Amino acid sequence: MKLSIINGSPRGKSSNTRIILEKIQEGFSSVDSTFELEEAYLKSEKDIARFRKMFETADILIIGFPLYTDAMPGIVKQLFEALDPKTIKKDLRLGFIVQSGFSESYHSEFIQSYLAKLSRRLGVEYIGTAIKGGVEGIKVQPKWMTKKYLSLFYDLGQQLALDWEFDENTMERLAQPKYLAGSRLMLTKFFIKTGLANFYWNSQLKENKAFNKRYAKPYSE
């Protein structure tokens, strides 16, 4: 039996997507270590044939990517276009992970609909799309913040090994918050008003000595 994982992040090995996919894999392996594991990075692999092969040989295939302009990154669309439903393994179980920068996961619900439809078009067994917001900055977020949701991805991996499905309840928990409301909305408003929301960007702008140019309009005519 084979579990294949495709990392569709344009950042490849230094991606936030990798941190999430590794958690799923860890969770999976902790339950079932008999599976053959294969992982591949869309960014670094020029040969699309390898990815097509994964659709033909895997029993479970997980594709993870960050949300780019409200959809899949261009390189992930390239992969989708290279697929031939006729050669794909008929009982392949296909699932997706979509992570985004904004804290609410609502932004990813639209690509979720696309991925469900794509799976039907490919004629595979769709096991779901787990969406998660607030992932940009995962490497600078304090451990207590990331620990909770990374352990949910670990759980998702464990349940995948047991049931060959993405657990609905875990996906629902990962998707929280879907919208900003209540105290979270108040806090976001406070962060924006005080400029704290821009801290992540400002520190990088300053590091690059580009802070004074942050409002540049290079194409203004």
Partner 1 sequence: MTITILNGNPDNGSSYFNSYITDLQSLLKLKGFAVRTFNLREMDIKSCTGCWGCWVKTPGECTIPDDSIEVRRAVINSDWLIFASPLIMGFTSALLKIMQDKIIPLVHPYIELVDNECHHIKRYDNYPKIGLIYGKEPDTDMEDIRIVTDIYKRMALNFKSELIFAESIEFEPEKLANEVIHH
Binding stretches for partner 1 (CB under 8 A): 9-11, 15, 43, 66, 68-75, 77-78, 80-81, 83, 102-104, 106-107, 110-111, 113-114, 117-118, 121, 179-181, 185, 188-189, 192, 197-198, 201, 204-205, 207-208, 210, 213-221
* Burial letters 86-107, b for 16+ CB under 10 A, else e: eebbeebbbbbbbbbeebbbeb
What's the closest the beta carbon of residue 217 comes to partner 1, in angstroms? 6
Nearer to partner 1, 144 or 215 (CB): 215
Nearer to partner 1, 65 or 166 (CB): 65
Distance CA(185)–CA(187), nearest Å, equals 5
Going through the chain in order, the beta strands assigned E by DSSP cover: 2-7, 36-41, 60-66, 93-99, 125-132
What's the closest the beta carbon of residue 71 comes to partner 1, in angstroms? 5
Nearest-5° angle of CA 13, CA 10, CA 97?
Answer: 80
What's the closest the beta carbon of residue 150 comes to partner 1, in angstroms? 20
What's the closest the beta carbon of residue 209 comes to partner 1, in angstroms? 9
What's the closest the beta carbon of residue 64 comes to partner 1, in angstroms? 14
Nearer to partner 1, 92 or 156 (CB): 92
What's the closest the beta carbon of residue 27 comes to partner 1, in angstroms? 26
**What number of helices (H) and strands (E) belong to the chain?**
8, 5
Nearest to 158 by CA among 4, 32, 35: 32
Nearer to partner 1, 3 or 118 (CB): 118
Nearer to partner 1, 66 or 157 (CB): 66
Give one word for 164, left, alpha or beta, with left for phi > 0 and alpha for psi -120 to 50. Answer: left
Nearer to partner 1, 3 or 88 (CB): 88
> What sign results for the dihedral spanned by CA atoms 180, 214, 136, 142?
negative
